[in-house]
């Protein structure tokens, strides 16, 4: 992955917020929407942008689409470094901390995400 592709993705706050949440594990759009308190169309638009540039992957499971970062072994050194930097910086930013707090308050029992090996929430039902 080219460095310029990574930086193009990182130049938007919503995409940074999404990536920060996906560092926690695979999530359904409904989880991301609830954690960011943003409309589904906005979340999906930014996830599509990240997906076409290779920063996230998706897979359909029933009626849900589960998003995740590429597996650690498939991440370029540049992507690993930038995600680590994002995590460090986000840990000190109020908005990012609120997103994570909202995500952690969700009932993480969504069947499609749990079956995908990640976290989930019943909002998908």
Helix (H) or strand (E) holding 83: helix 77-90
Q: What is the pLDDT of residues 9-34, one digit of tens each?
A: 899 999 999 999 999 999 999 999 99
pLDDT mean values, one per 10 residues, the chain (125 residues):
85 96 94 95 97 95 91 93 95 95 79 47 48
Strands (E), the chain: 27-28, 57-61, 64-68
Number of structural domains the chain divides into: 1
Domain that holds residue 56: 3-124
- CATH number of domain containing 57: 1.10.10.10
The residues facing 27 across adjacent strands are: 67
- Give the global pTM: 0.85
Closest by CA to 43, choosing from 28, 24, 59, 57, is: 28
> How far is the C-alpha of 80 from the C-alpha of 73, rounded, in Å?
10
């Amino acid at each position: 992955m080219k460095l310029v592709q990574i930086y193009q993705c990182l130049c938007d706050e919503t995409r940074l917020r999404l990536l920060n949440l996906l560092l926690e594990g695979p999530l359904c759009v409904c989880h991301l929407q609830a954690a960011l308190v943003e409309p589904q169309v906005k979340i999906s638009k930014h996830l599509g942008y990240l997906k076409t540039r290779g920063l996230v992957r998706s897979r359909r499971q029933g009626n849900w689409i589960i998003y995740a970062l590429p597996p650690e072994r498939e991440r370029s050194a540049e992507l690993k470094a930038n995600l680590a930097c994002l995590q460090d910086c986000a840990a000190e930013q109020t908005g990012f901390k609120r997103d994570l707090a909202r995500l952690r308050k969700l009932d993480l029992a969504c069947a499609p995400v749990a079956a995908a090996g990640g976290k989930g929430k019943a909002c998908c039902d």
